[in-house]
Amino acid sequence: MSHPHTSHPRLLAWIDEVAALTTPDRIVWCDGSDAEWTRLTDELVESGALVRLDQEKKPNSFWARTDPSDVARVEERTFICSVDEADAGPTNNWMAPAEMKSLMTELYRGSMRGRTMYVVPFCMGPLDAEQPMFGVELTDSPYVVASMRIMTRMGAEVLSAMGDDADFVPCLHSIGAPLEPGQSDVAWPCSETKYISHFPETREIWSFGSGYGGNSLLGKKCYALRIASVAARDEGWLAEHMLIMKLTSPEGQVRYIAGAFPSACGKTNLAMLEPTLPGWKVETVGDDIAWMRFGEDGRLWATNPEFGLFGVAPGTDFHTNPNAMRTLAKGNSVFTNVALTDDGDIWWEGMGEPPAHLTDWKGQDWTPESQAPSSHPNSRFCTPIEQCPILADEYYDPRGVPIDAILFGGRRKTTIPLVTEARDWVHGVYMGATLSSETTAAAVGQVGVVRRDPMAMLPFIGYHAGDYFQHWIDMAKGASGDASKLPKVFYVNWFRRGDDGRFLWPGFGENSRVLKWVVERLDGKADAVETPIGHVATPEALDLSGLDLDPADLEAVLRVDTDEWLAELPQVTEWFEKFGDKLPAVLWAELDALRARLADA
Ligand code: PEP
Ligand code: MN
Ligand code: NA
């Protein structure tokens, strides 16, 4: 065993306990060095778990294929193990902590046999934060170690910053595939039995059976959203599933915008957007997670706790997200479940003309005639955020950036107009609480079904969603009693379709036109029409210069269709009824007021 450069008693005791339970052959303390990365990736290439990509095309980068059963977050196997079942609420799976722990203890018993247990000290957010947010992941997956090195600040620096008594979130992960002596390994070991468990009171994470991203890189969804949301509730801040962008106008005015969209709905593309409107500039602060705390000025300041990007690959190309492509070209990345080209590069659907031959995500020969896509729809790139050519300097500031506007958005073919401004904070919370989206491949299950996804946090709220809504409403008190300091809330939908199924709005870089309208609303400059659902952009108020858009499509993408909205209300009522007494009365009042306004329309 390599020498631990710590005498942190709680950490050492926990590692001893886990090692005694899981019985790994060896324990390796990760230092986060380049040498360690090289050793790990060499071993992974040697064992066949990774394929090294061409050094010219994608330097220091690797191709991974998972087991075909281990390709996405498993929401059905994700549990919030609060002491009281009522605290998990109706949107989470629950099991009593003692029951879950005894069940999982038996799964972990001997589960690292024949493998290495890696100790991965990490920090979510900058190490020089006032209160650095530490975690330690114990894992038997070297793929997870390599990915955690990209996604978090990790290694010796973190361990030394923890000293002997820093608080940390213990994150236990095992793929659940012990290796018997003489047994040969598979490229992607995992278990059919999967549990992704969170213990909110004791701030612990136990994950078993999966090596896939959100199930196994425990600093990300498990810590920075589910566990952090509980801490945020207790301490008066917000841990949200949001991108953070810096937007500069041609006049040099800077605005910061946060945006909540469900998985695989374009957060990464929006965070790195290349505006088509001349003179506008977007810089990236974060693409998936925002931690928002009140500053002394009473405003909400957001930081990105992550160190990398774990983006959905298909659909990403030089048209949809040129800055992601530039980020990936610099290398140092892991690609999972995309296709491999014959010359050692990667390819996925959406990258233009396919090559004549590929190796697909299942390791099979693939040609343009093949029926199935070459890449899994939830295939991912994992790449250092510091390689993003438009990373904002503020990314490094532990205070973060003051948020001017929050966008809520989903993927809806109908009903939801391109952009609507909330009338006030509570109406904004109503918009967030009733946010809906068609499901995507980011989670196991059916794709394309409309479901409520409040604040795009449905799979990530670590407690009762009714309490979560109340917490959002209560944020108005945190703004030094001055709600005008809170961000303005907007509801957007890039995905509305015409009767013929076409997207009505071109999206991507053209979304800068919507961002311009948002910023002008903040300045009280742009026109909107007051509708039953809020302030909707007028066609004239959107800057459409240089855009060839059919006026009928423009009218359709902005339309508030009373019948469609009335049809939505029973679903919202049913959604709210789930929360019983925990649904804040002001949200019922918002629904009633909306119904009344629609009836008058
Ligand atoms: C994941 O799916 O594991 C993940 C981290 O990302 P997403 O937000 O797309 O679910
Ligand atoms: Mn996400
Ligand atoms: Na996902």
pLDDT, one tens digit per residue, over 29-78 is 999 999 999 999 999 999 999 999 999 999 999 999 999 999 999 999 99
Domain contains 1: no
- Calculate mean pLDDT across residues 367-372: 97
Please tell me whether residues 288 and 413 are part of one structural domain.
yes
- Residue 326 sits in a domain whose CATH number is 2.170.8.10
Residue 155 has pLDDT above 60, yes or no: yes
Q: Do 224 and 270 belong to one domain?
A: no
Task: Kindly write down the DSSP assignment for every residue of 501-545, as one continuous string.
Answer: S-BSS--GGGGHHHHHHHHHHHTT-S-EEEETTEEEEPGGGS--T
Q: Whose CA is nearest to atom 3 of ligand 1?
A: 214
**Nearest alpha carbon to residue 121 among 154, 165, 170:** 154
Tell me, what's the pLDDT at 5? 78
Q: Is 460 in the pocket of ligand 1 (CB under 6 A)?
A: no
**Is 378 marked as binding a ligand?**
yes
Does residue 140 lie within any of the structural domains? yes
CA-nearest residue, atom 8 of ligand 1: 263
Q: How far apart are CA 182 and CA 558, in angstroms?
A: 64
Q: Is the sign of the CA dihedral 53, 58, 60, 66 positive or negative?
A: negative
- Ligand 1 and 263: CB distance under 6 A: yes
Query: SS3 for 3?
Result: coil
Mean pLDDT of all residues belonging to the chain: 97
Distances from the Cα of 457 to the Cα of 225, 241, 245, 262, 580, angstroms? 8, 6, 19, 7, 19
Work out how many domains the chain is built from and give that number. 3
Q: List pLDDT tens digits, range 304-321.
A: 999 999 999 999 999 999
End position of a domain, from candidates 236, 271, 297? 236
* 443 and 373 co-located in one domain: no
CA dist., res. 407 & res. 514, Å (int)? 11
Catalytic status, residue 265: yes
Residue closest via CA to ligand 1's atom 5 equals: 214
- Band (pLDDT 50/70/90 cuts) for residue 126 is very high
Q: What is the mean pLDDT of residues 572-601?
A: 97
Instruction: Tell which atom from ligand 1 comes closest to the C-alpha of 214.
Output: 3
Among candidate residues 236, 254, 276, the one where a domain is terminated: 236
Residue 589 — pLDDT band, cuts 50, 70, 90? Answer: very high
Question: Are 465 and 517 in the same domain?
Answer: yes
- What confidence category does residue 2 fall into, taking pLDDT thresholds of 50, 70 and 90? low
Q: Helices H, strands E: what count in the chain? A: 15, 31
CB 347 within 8 Å of CB 362 = no
Nearest alpha carbon to residue 290 among 164, 135, 403: 403
Residues 360 and 408 in one domain: no
221 CB contacts (<8 Å, ≥6 apart)?
Answer: 73, 214, 459, 460
Q: Is 268 annotated as a binding residue?
A: yes
Do residues 543 and 517 lie in contact, with contact meaning Cβ atoms separated by under 8 Å? Answer: yes
> Is residue 403 in a domain?
yes
Minimum CA distance residue for ligand 1 atom 4? 214
Q: Could you give the count of Cα atoms lying within 13 Å of 22 in the half-sphere of its Cβ?
A: 32
Last residue of a domain, one of 384, 403, 420: 384
Contact 588, 430 (CB under 8 A): no
Is 155 known to sit in a ligand binding site? no
pTM for this entry: 0.97
Q: What is the pLDDT of residue 3?
A: 59
Is the residue at 432 inside a domain? yes
Predicted confidence band at 429 (pLDDT cuts at 50, 70, 90)? very high
Q: Is residue 61 part of a domain?
A: no
Please work out whether the CB of residue 288 comes within 6 Å of at least one atom of ligand 1. yes
Q: Which helix (H) or strand (E) holds 228?
A: helix 228-235
The answer to whether 344 and 338 are in contact (CB under 8 A) is no
Structural domain boundaries, residue 244? 239-308+395-600
525: CATH:
3.90.228.20
Same domain, 413 and 545: yes
pLDDT tens digits for range 322-361:
999 999 999 999 999 999 999 999 999 999 999 999 999 9
The pLDDT value recorded for residue 441 is 85
Task: Identify whether 145 is part of a domain.
Answer: yes
The residues near 36 (Cβ < 8 Å, ≥ 6 apart) are 30, 149, 155
pLDDT at 489 over 90: yes
- For residue 1, the model assigns a pLDDT of 46
Closest atom of ligand 1 to 72 CA is 2
Same domain for 123 and 201, yes or no, is: yes
- Kindly report, residue by residue over 393-425, the tens digit of the pLDDT: 999 999 999 999 999 999 999 999 999 999 999
Q: Per residue in 229-288, pLDDT tens?
A: 999 999 999 999 999 999 999 999 999 999 999 988 989 999 999 999 999 999 999 999
Q: Is the CB of 377 under 6 A from ligand 1?
A: no
In the predicted structure, residue 113 carries a pLDDT above the cut 50? yes
Residue 46 CA, ligand 3 centroid: distance in Å? 28
| CATH number, residue 109 | 3.40.449.10
Q: Are residues 117 and 210 in the same domain?
A: yes
Whether 224 is in a domain gets the answer yes
Q: Is the dihedral of CA 533, 535, 540, 546 positive or negative?
A: negative
Judge whether 413 is annotated as a binding position.
no
Residue 315, in any domain of the structure: yes
> 597 CA distance to ligand 1 centroid (A)?
37
The reply to whether 420 and 550 lie within a common domain is yes
